[in-house]
Amino acid sequence: MNLAVNKITKRYGDQRALDGFTLQANDFSCLAFIGPSGGGKSTALRHLCGLEIPDSGEIRLNDSILPAQENELLNFRKSIGIVFQSYNLFPHFTALENVTLPLVQVHAMDAKNANSRAMELLGRFGLSNHANKRPAELSGGQSQRVAIARALAPDPSILFLDEPTSALDPEMTAEVLEAIESLVADGKKIVLVTHEMGFAQKAADQVAFIANGKVIEHSTSTDLFNRPQSQTCEKFLSRVLKY
């Protein structure tokens, strides 16, 4: 997967959330965004997902420019998967319905196929016995795995995840990270924002360090963690890896 982001800028009032954000990531399997709070990771990810349109600049995914018109963006969003920090499951539907509903309503799949696709994915993430529970009856880790199953169900070309484990305790975090790692091993392309440095180091092949609305550094995860080039990144890593 190739991603080329050319000088995107986004302001909210007088706040510059993205300030000439530029990134050229070629042939990545799993690209991780790391960096200080408020640096622009989530904002950048929302732009890559087509959930927001930049004030200026351009984004290309595998050489196609992301559209800037809302109606074309809708089609683009159908072709990708998105998972956020707080699961965003429909609270009044079961785990199974949460996965099947978008398949039927958004992707026009027939109910029978949607059901078998959903059960296959729930099974893959160890959720077969929880298919008929509503989100309130699931643990955080289970809910997040349902959210991942839902995002994967239409077989998106790429999956975007924003801190998928930040609301979870360590054991559930491990559950979800294992699920993501298995997707990477299967060849699914992933861009994720994470505070889990161990995971970024192990599962991501490329890492971008983001601060002040820009990519300060981008390289292979081995290089970025072992030989950070900028002082900002080095300081950030020494602080977060200390505990």
Ligand X SMILES: Nc1ncnc2c1ncn2[C@@H]1O[C@H](COP(=O)(O)OP(=O)(O)OP(=O)(O)O)[C@@H](O)[C@H]1O
In the stretch 31-70, what mask flags binding to ligand X with x, by CB under 6 A? ------xxxxxxx---------------------------
Q: Which does 37 bind (CB under 5 to 8 A by kind): Mg ion, ligand X, none?
A: ligand X
Q: In the β-sheet with 15-25, what is the strand arrangement from edge to edge?
A: 15-25, 3-12, 56-61, 64-65
Please tell me whether residue 42 binds Mg ion under the rule CB under 5 A. yes
In whole angstroms, how close is the CB of 193 to Mg ion at the nearest point?
A: 6
Nearer to Mg ion, 45 or 118 (CB): 45
Stretch touching Mg ion by CB under 5 A, among 35-43, 86-94, 99-107, 143-151: 35-43
Buried/exposed 6-43: b ≥16 CB within 10 Å, e otherwise? bebebeeeeebbbeebebebeebbbbbbbbbeebbbbb
Q: Which is nearer to ligand X, 96 or 147 (CB)?
A: 147
Residue 17 binding ligand X, by CB under 6 A: yes
Q: What is the DSSP letter of 130?
A: G
Beta strands 190-193 and 214-220 are unpaired
The pair of three-digit structure tokens given for residue 10, joined into one six-digit string: 């986004």
3-state secondary structure 204-219: CCEEEEEECCEEEEEE
* Interface contacts to ligand X, rule CB under 6 A: 12, 15, 17, 37-43
* Interface contacts to Mg ion, rule CB under 5 A: 42
